[in-house]
């Protein structure tokens, strides 16, 4: 007898994947260059050369038995040490090796962090708009994910709605800043207010409330945007990091959890992650990739294209009459749709070969996501299609 839960999940198609698949088919008909596919959040710029060079050096120079050997279950010691140092230098923190757990990307990080700080039945809160995969990520831990409705005027935190949902069963809040899908970066004011409320409620409830800070877009922050390092503002922070977007290597599955050393039991938490791995088949990120990213901790891919694309789209779409909260980072934008039904709006766009993801699966109605991690040249060529779309509603 197969597990019906997973069979049922197979039936639930991802809107994003379906749009992407449609785009691939459509490209065969009218040419790849004529489909404006804003569906997927895949980095579009190459990995830094430092990474490639280090990979080749490792393969050519190192003893292969040692190079490809088992990683210790918490990650390779020198890599953990290097990650701690880089965070200390960049964010004025005090991490040590013991506080760092190497993990296979942000999905893996959340899988470990959520299991460590909850038991089945506990609650985790997240904030709309949110990455839809949080639902299956958390559901499988046995905890319950509840979604705080969005403040659609700013996409910062809707604190009134947050306080309505914050009860003693809440063991963690899962935040994502810079945010997928809004592109918004939580301000220092937002993070400090969140920290203050959580600190008060920890006292009231008599237990810690952790921030699980999902930060794959940390390095993609635009010019002059206030982008606080969350853990510097709240002790009970588990920073869930992925190198996927900063280094443009989402397929290589590499990231870490950094446990704020000001958090009591920080080393115990990291040890617990090692135990959690045993039950979910994790067993460390690939050794060679750990070693190579350790040489690129102060480097990123050339991320400037994303800000350039944002500027073009934000300027042009705003001119056309779209209502948009200006992104502070990432390669996403989350404008208001021109009709209430986001799916109907996305279908209108599809007729113009413009692939836009309707907002519903992100926990917000009446919006759409643009993933502008595509060449700037294509962004520019897509503007007339957006104009035609706007004309259908506003002309």
Question: C-beta of 56: minimal distance to a second copy in Å?
Answer: 5
- How many other C-beta atoms are found inside a 10 Å radius of the C-beta of residue 262? 15
Question: Which residue, 191 or 269, has its beta carbon nearer to a second copy?
Answer: 269
Question: C-beta of 70: minimal distance to a second copy in Å?
Answer: 5
Question: Which residue, 278 or 381, has its beta carbon nearer to a second copy?
Answer: 278
Whether 230 and 215 have beta carbons less than 8 Å apart is answered as yes
Question: Which residue, 1 or 395, has its beta carbon nearer to a second copy?
Answer: 1
Question: Which residue, 35 or 103, has its beta carbon nearer to a second copy?
Answer: 103
> CA–CA separation, 242 vs 133, rounded Å?
15
Whether 209 and 173 have beta carbons less than 8 Å apart is answered as yes
Whether 356 and 347 have beta carbons less than 8 Å apart is answered as no
Question: C-beta of 379: minimal distance to a second copy in Å?
Answer: 17
Question: Which residue, 14 or 308, has its beta carbon nearer to a second copy?
Answer: 14
Question: Which residue, 82 or 316, has its beta carbon nearer to a second copy?
Answer: 82
Question: C-beta of 317: minimal distance to a second copy in Å?
Answer: 26
E strand or H helix at 276? helix 266-280
Chain centroid to CA 70: how far? 28
E strand or H helix at 55? helix 49-61
Pairing of strands 255-259, 36-37: unpaired
> CA–CA separation, 158 vs 152, rounded Å?
9
Question: C-beta of 229: minimal distance to a second copy in Å?
Answer: 23
Angle at 123 between CA 4 and CA 269, to 5 degrees: 100
Question: C-beta of 64: minimal distance to a second copy in Å?
Answer: 4
Residues 6+ apart with CB under 8 A from 201: 166, 170, 209
């Amino acid at each position: 007898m197969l597990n019906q839960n997973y069979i049922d999940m197979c039936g639930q198609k991802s809107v994003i994947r379906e749009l992407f698949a449609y785009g691939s088919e459509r490209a065969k008909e009218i040419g790849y260059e004529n489909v404006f596919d804003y569906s997927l959040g895949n980095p579009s710029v190459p990995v830094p050369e430092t990474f490639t060079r280090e990979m080749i050096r490792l393969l050519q120079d190192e003893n292969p038995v040692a190079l490809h050997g088992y990683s210790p279950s918490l990650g390779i010691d020198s890599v953990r040490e290097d990650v701690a140092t880089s965070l200390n230098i960049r964010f004025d923190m005090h991490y040590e090796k013991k506080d760092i757990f190497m993990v296979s990307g942000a999905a893996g990080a959340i899988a470990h962090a959520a299991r460590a700080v909850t038991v089945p039945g506990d609650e985790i809160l997240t904030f709309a708009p949110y990455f839809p995969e949080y639902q299956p990520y958390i559901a499988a831990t046995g905890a319950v994910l509840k979604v705080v409705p969005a403040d659609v005027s700013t996409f910062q935190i809707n604190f009134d709605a947050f306080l309505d949902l914050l009860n003693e069963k809440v063991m963690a809040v899962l935040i994502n800043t810079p945010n997928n899908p809004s592109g918004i970066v939580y301000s220092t004011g937002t993070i400090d207010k969140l920290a203050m409320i959580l600190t008060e409620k920890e006292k009231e409830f008599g237990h810690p409330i952790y921030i699980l800070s999902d930060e794959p877009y940390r390095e993609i922050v635009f010019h002059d945007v206030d982008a606080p390092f969350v853990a510097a503002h709240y002790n009970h922070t588990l920073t869930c990091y992925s190198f996927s977007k900063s280094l443009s290597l989402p397929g290589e599955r590499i990231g870490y959890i950094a446990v704020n050393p000001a958090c009591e039991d920080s080393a115990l938490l990291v040890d617990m992650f090692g135990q959690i791995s045993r039950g979910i088949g994790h067993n460390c990120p690939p050794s060679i990739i750990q070693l190579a990213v350790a040489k690129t901790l102060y480097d990123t891919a050339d991320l400037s294209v994303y800000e350039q694309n944002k500027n073009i789209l934000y300027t042009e779409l705003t001119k056309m009459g779209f209502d948009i909260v200006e992104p502070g980072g990432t390669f996403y934008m989350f404008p208001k749709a021109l009709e209430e039904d986001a799916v109907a709006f996305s279908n209108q766009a599809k007729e113009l070969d413009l692939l836009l993801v309707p907002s519903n699966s992100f926990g917000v109605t009446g919006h759409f996501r643009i993933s502008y991690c595509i060449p700037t040249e294509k962004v520019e060529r897509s503007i007339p299609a957006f104009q035609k779309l706007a004309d259908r509603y506003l002309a």
